[in-house]
Structure 1
Amino acid sequence: MSPEQAAEFFQRWQTADPHPTTELNYASPFELLVAVILSAQATDKSVNKATAQLFPIANTPATMLALGETGLREYIKTIGLYNAKAKNIIATCQILIDQHHSQVPDQRAALEALPGVGRKTANVILNTAFQQPTMAVDTHIFRLGNRTGLAPGKNVLAVEQGLLKLIPAEYLQDAHHWLILHGRYVCTARKPKCPSCLVADLCEYKEKTPA
């Protein structure tokens, strides 16, 4: 896809949704970090339901650490992989307290050193909490990068790098959210809603669904 086509893609999304954001509920970088760790292989809706009970009780590294793994599990047991996630979150809280003055770091290397935080999670935190122009590639964005022709790639890193090169700078801060929302609600995996798609005429997908 040409840079001109890509610019038109994102210009349309900006017009339709000028201020996109995550669907995870949070009120601080720490709450966002916990929510994103919990969201792995889980829906945002299920995470929000759990954190609505958890965050009023524990929303800092110290108060979360005080719960311990056993206490935390009680709040997140409706979420998949909750045992591993509880272990990672408690270990992360200890590191934040010991090494970062209880603050979530705004550097990639420091974020990726936290248990349960990989490149995608780090990108979400950097983009959403710290307004850095990163691209967190999840299954939706990986699908869109390949399906639309925006940034074909065999793995998530290739798609991430392709998108970072192609997307005009003025759209990069919000591009992550536009792509996720588009993949979640319009360009779905099994049956994309091509007739209602804002960018169908620009998309290179050859098997568009009929009206």
Structure 2
Amino acid sequence: MNKQKRIEILTRLRNHNPTPTTELNYTSPFELLIAVILSAQATDKGVNKATAKLFPIANTPQQIFDLGIDGLKSYIKTIGLYNSKAENIIKTCRDLIEKYDSQVPESREELESLAGVGRKTANVVLNTAFGHPTIAVDTHIFRVCNRTGFASGKNVLKVEEKLLSVVPAEFKVDVHHWLILHGRYTCIARKPRCGSCIIEDLCEYKDKTES
């Protein structure tokens, strides 16, 4: 895909949604960090249901740490992999308290040192909580980028590297949200909704649908 086509795609996505953001509910960088850890292999809707009960009770590293693993599990047991997530979150809260004065660090290296935090989670927090031009590539973004030809790659890291190299600076902060929402609601996995897609004429997917 050429540069001109990519810019037109990004421009249309921006015009359609000028101020995109995550669908995870949060009111602080710490709440976002916990929500993103919980969202691995889970839906944002499911995470929001759990955090709606958890955060009013505990929404600081100390408060969640004080719940303990079993106490935390009682709030997140509806979420997949809740056992390992509870253990990781308690470890992360302990490290935030002991090493970072209960504040979420604003560097990739420090974020990735926390339990349960990999590159994708760090990218989401850096982008959404702190406004860094990082791009977190999940299954939706990986699919959209490869299907449309916008940024092809054999794995999520390759797609991330491609996006960072081809997306102009003015679009970088928001492109993660545009692409994930596009993949979640329009360019869906089984049968993309090409007929209602605002970038259909620019997309290079060969097997377009009419609906």
Q: TM-score, normalised by structure 1?
A: 0.99
Partner of 2:97: 97
The 5 A counterparts of 1:32-181 are 32-181=32-181
| Offset of residue 8 of structure 1 | 0.5
Distance in 2 between residues matched to 1:18 and 1:153, nearest whole Å: 27
Query: Letter of the aligned partner of 2:178 in structure 1?
Result: W
Distance 2:166 2:144 in 1: 14
1:11 matched to 2:2? The reply is no
Percentage of identical aligned residues: 66
Provide the C-alpha distance between the structure 2 equivalents of 1:164 and 1:199, rounded to a whole number of angstroms: 20
The CA deviation at 1:168 is: 1.2
- How far does the alpha carbon of each residue in 1:1-45 deviate from its partner, in whole angstroms, 9 at most, with x for none? 111111100100111110000000000000000000000000000
Identify the residue that residue 192 of structure 1 maps to in structure 2. 192
RMSD: 0.5
2: CA distance, partners of 1:39 / 1:205 = 29
Deviations 1:78-128 (A, max 9, x none): 000000000000000000011111000010000011000000000000000
Equivalent position SS for 1:143:
helix
Q: Could you report, residue by residue, the CA deviation over 1:151-191 in whole angstroms, capped at 9, with x for unpaired residues? A: 11011000001011111111111000000000000000000
Q: Distance in 1 between matches of 2:4 and 2:111?
A: 34
Provide the rounded CA distance (Å) in 2 between the counterparts of 1:76 and 1:151: 35
Structure 2 length normalisation: TM-score? Answer: 0.99
Structure 1 letter corresponding to 2:51: T
What is the distance in 2 between the residues matched to 1:134 and 1:3? Answer: 20
Provide the C-alpha distance between the structure 2 equivalents of 1:201 and 1:163, rounded to a whole number of angstroms: 20
Measure the CA separation in 1 of the matches of 2:8 and 2:199: 8
The CA distance in 1 between the partners of 2:101 and 2:3, in whole Å, is 43
Q: Does 1:26 align with 2:26?
A: yes
**Equivalences, count:** 211
AA of the residue aligned to 1:48:
N
Unaligned residue ranges in structure 1 (runs of 5+): none
Aligned AA (2:16): A
Aligned to 2:183: 183
User: Which residue in 1 is equivalent to 2:206?
Assistant: 206
How many Å apart are 1:210 and its aligned residue?
Answer: 1.8
**Whole-Å separation in 2 of the counterparts to 1:121 and 1:91:** 16
**Distance between the aligned counterparts of 2:126 and 2:149, measured in 1?**
26
Task: Name stretches of at least 5 consecutive residues in structure 2 with no aligned partner.
Answer: none
Equivalents in 2 of 1:89, 1:148: separation in Å?
A: 36
CA–CA separation in structure 2 for the residues paired with 1:144 and 1:16: 17
In 1: Cα distance, 2:7 partner to 2:47 partner: 33
